Amino acid sequence: MTVTVLTNLRIVDPSQDMDETGAIVIEDGRIAAIGASTAKSLPAGAEVRDMGGLLAMPGLVDTRVFIGEPGGEHRETIKSASRAAAAGGITSIVTMPDTDPVIDDIALVEFVKKTARDKSSIHVYPAAALTKGLAGEEMSEFGLLKKAGAVVLTQGRHAIPDSQVLRRAMTYAKHFGTVVALETRDPYLGVNGVMNEGLFASWLGLSGSPREAEIIPLERDLRIAGLTGANYHAAKISVPESVEAIKLARKRGVKVTSAVSINHLTLNENDIGEYRTFFKLSPPLRTEDDRVAMVEALAAGDIDIIVSSHDPQDVDTKRVPFADAADGAVGLETLFSAALRLYHGERVTLSRLVDALSTRPAAIFGLPAGSLKPGSVADIAFADLEMPWIATAEGLLSRSKNTPFENARFTGRIVETWVSGRQVYRLQG
């Protein structure tokens, strides 16, 4: 029986309201004891390590990760994504079904799980397609998919225009208790939009997508969630009006949670500059006022969680004119460092950040993660909160290099990542 004791840590664990200096005792891959009083009675024969004052938090849980496997392995594989995630302190990911073929069948869910078991150093939880082929027409086999290990139903990047289909799907999903996670985008309004509608888009000669293209279908979804009683998750909102719509729905008793991508919390439309396609996202980057409002909503807890929305794209889909480029940016490795900008610069507390990056997402999707309480699986991320570093495309472990944070200066970095009591990543140098 191996016992590891990690001492001299600042432990932040929102699941037990903990922010204190202390130690973590790991036994058989699980947390045996944690906190300030732990170090006083070390078990005999324990392997003790002084962690030099690093931050320890429950391993991060990223619930919106796009991967190229199967079908787009040149962009990212489950293995390469897991390495990138580990380097970002992420110990659990939920993978999107937007692959080729689409993850809408139990055999494909099993494929993802098996590949992850063989090749991934972190926990990989597949999301399954809400509708077959993500076409928005026919329900997939929710019950069987859940039994096979799908943790959430989603349309990935795709919308679900038909309200009747959505109503039936949510009604059926409620029976299995599965969360339905949707990004909202009106199929007509701003359909050609490639960035946020407004003056900046007009000067660039790019078609804009108005904020209403996100808000209107979200309001519809919230009504259907109320109608059916399903657990609805707004998977990627980008404007404060969406937050307001969700707050109102909660008041009506709708079971709804929400996520915002780290990009929408730290970047705005001006970052696009002269047609920089790495900043082409869906929903599009909004104005600085929107960004600030989203940070405030996150701090207040009105937005539940942060996702990386990691979306690897190759040069063939990004080194093209802006309007022709694919949406999306990689984000696993920079998620925590970028999120620390909100702590260092914008008064979001560390406890709230860790909650939004780990404890809350685990709770929403029912994952065995997000906590360092005794008995929990020892998934831990260790960070140096003050370490300065500059992100570079070459430094990324992800197979794709489409980061919006190229040459960005960060303060704070993941130093070590442990999964089930074993170190899976350590910062070199």
Residue 319 contacts another protein per CB under 8 A: yes
Q: Identify which of residues 126 and 190 has a Cβ nearer to another protein in the complex.
A: 190
Interface residue with another protein among 253, 274, 375, 407 (CB under 8 A) is 274
- The interface with another protein within residues 324-343 (CB under 8 A) comprises 324-325
Residue 188 contacts another protein per CB under 8 A: no
DSSP letter at 356 equals: I
Write the binding mask 200 to 239 for another protein: x where contact by CB under 8 A, - elsewhere. Answer: xxxxxxxxx-x-----------------------------
DSSP count for the chain of H helices, then E strands: 13, 19
CB of 83 to another protein, least distance (A): 29
- What distance in Å separates the CA atoms of residue 270 and residue 288, rounded to the nearest whole number? 8
Pairing relationship of beta strands 123-126 and 90-95 according to DSSP bridges: parallel
User: Which amino acid type is present at position 43?
Assistant: P
Q: Identify which of residues 162 and 212 has a Cβ nearer to another protein in the complex.
A: 212
Question: How many chain residues touch another protein (CB under 8 A)?
Answer: 23
- What distance in Å separates the CA atoms of residue 165 and residue 188, rounded to the nearest whole number? 18
Instruction: Work out the number of other CB atoms within 10 angstroms of the CB of residue 324.
Output: 11
Strands of the 60-65 sheet, one edge to the other = 60-65, 90-95, 123-126
Residue 323 contacts another protein per CB under 8 A: yes
Residue 270 contacts another protein per CB under 8 A: no
CB of 331 to another protein, least distance (A): 24
Of the candidates 27, 71, 19, the residue with the CA atom closest to the CA atom of residue 359: 19
CB of 317 to another protein, least distance (A): 8
- What distance in Å separates the CA atoms of residue 258 and residue 73, rounded to the nearest whole number? 30
CB of 316 to another protein, least distance (A): 7
- What distance in Å separates the CA atoms of residue 397 and residue 156, rounded to the nearest whole number? 24
Q: Identify which of residues 102 and 204 has a Cβ nearer to another protein in the complex.
A: 204
Binding range to another protein, per CB under 8 A, among 9-17, 321-329, 349-357, 361-369? 321-329
Beta-strand ranges (E) seen in 115-238 are 123-126, 128-129, 153-154, 180-182, 195-196, 208-209, 232-234
| C-beta separation of 176 from 233 below 8 A | no
Q: Identify which of residues 72 and 421 has a Cβ nearer to another protein in the complex.
A: 72
| C-beta separation of 285 from 271 below 8 A | yes
CA 240 to chain centre: 19
- The interface with another protein within residues 7-66 (CB under 8 A) comprises none
- The interface with another protein within residues 162-181 (CB under 8 A) comprises none
CB of 341 to another protein, least distance (A): 28
Interface residue with another protein among 133, 149, 187, 198 (CB under 8 A) is 198
CB of 353 to another protein, least distance (A): 34
Q: Identify which of residues 321 and 368 has a Cβ nearer to another protein in the complex.
A: 321
CB of 75 to another protein, least distance (A): 16
Write the binding mask 275 to 304 for another protein: x where contact by CB under 8 A, - elsewhere. Answer: x-----------------------------
Q: Distance from first CA to last CA of the chain, Å, rounded?
A: 31
User: Which amino acid type is present at position 103?
Assistant: I
- What distance in Å separates the CA atoms of residue 106 and residue 147, rounded to the nearest whole number? 9
Interface residue with another protein among 111, 232, 278, 322 (CB under 8 A) is 322
Q: Identify which of residues 277 and 417 has a Cβ nearer to another protein in the complex.
A: 277
Interface residue with another protein among 143, 321, 345, 368 (CB under 8 A) is 321
CB of 185 to another protein, least distance (A): 18
Binding range to another protein, per CB under 8 A, among 72-80, 131-139, 316-324, 387-395? 316-324
Interface residue with another protein among 50, 110, 271, 316 (CB under 8 A) is 316
Q: Identify which of residues 50 and 316 has a Cβ nearer to another protein in the complex.
A: 316
Instruction: Please report, for residues 76, 112, 235, the alpha-carbon distance to residue 310 in angstroms, rounded to integers and kept in the order given.
Output: 10, 17, 13
Identify the three-state secondary structure at position 179. coil
| C-beta separation of 3 from 32 below 8 A | yes
List Cβ neighbours of 351 (8 Å cut-off, separation of 6 or more). 12, 14, 19
Answer whether the bond into residue 101 is a cis peptide, omega within 30°.
yes
Q: Which residues make up the interface to another protein (CB under 8 A)?
A: 197-208, 210, 274-275, 316, 319-325
